[in-house]
Amino acid sequence: MQRNILVSLMIWLLEIILVAGFVSDEWTREIQAVEDKMLIDYFGKEKDAEIRKTTQHWFDKFFVKTGIRENVYHYFIPTERERQMSKGFEDVGRHDLFPFIQSRLDVLWDTVYQMIKRFIMACIWFPFLAVTLLPFCIDGIVRRKISQTNFDYPSPMAHRYSLYAILGALYLLFVGVTLPFPVPPQSVPVGVIIVAWATNVLLANTQKRI
């Protein structure tokens, strides 16, 4: 299990590196524009403005006011003063290397901003998760109690694959925060329903004695 979690995290980190390294800044802005339109169509302009405001607040709080974003740019891209102090190397990379690095860092920070925005959007559905999960859990427990009284045999296969479905849905929701294409807002409630249904099957097919 630990090995699978490690591999999953490595794949997620590789995805972020690939996005930052190969996705153009124009494509990133186009993704944001398409996703913004989907948010407005689904939640309305008022809720979209609220999500944008909250996203900008947390982005500024963690990366702008702390100086992290500025320091990252400064670490990879020399200032004009640093150029002038490097005699003979003032124009090295000025028109090719450092503009490329600038564009990659722009994509990276746009991705971070989009991650925060998608996470906030997912948080909106947390009350829906609680309301949906509770009856599915109760039903699963009741079905398990019934099977204990009539000696029905719980299915190990259903138990195992429902667990895989829960982990898979949660992982896809987690990876979806950094996907380099528009993620519809309906993806979160769909994932919640899958998790709730799989939890119902998992509880209903849990072994009678643990």
Query: In the prediction, which pLDDT does 177 show?
Result: 82
Query: In the prediction, which pLDDT does 84 show?
Result: 66
Cα distances (angstroms) measured from residue 5 to each of 9, 11, 111: 6, 10, 23
Query: In the prediction, which pLDDT does 55 show?
Result: 93
Query: In the prediction, which pLDDT does 209 show?
Result: 53
Query: In the prediction, which pLDDT does 25 show?
Result: 74
Query: In the prediction, which pLDDT does 140 show?
Result: 87
Q: Where are the domains of the chain?
A: 1-123, 125-210
Pick out the chain residues at pLDDT < 70: 1-5, 7-9, 12, 15-16, 19-21, 80, 82-96, 151-152, 208-210
Given a contact cutoff of 8 angstroms between Cβ atoms, the answer to whether 162 and 16 are in contact is no
Q: How far apart are CA 146 and CA 155, in angstroms?
A: 14
Query: In the prediction, which pLDDT does 66 show?
Result: 92
Query: In the prediction, which pLDDT does 210 show?
Result: 45
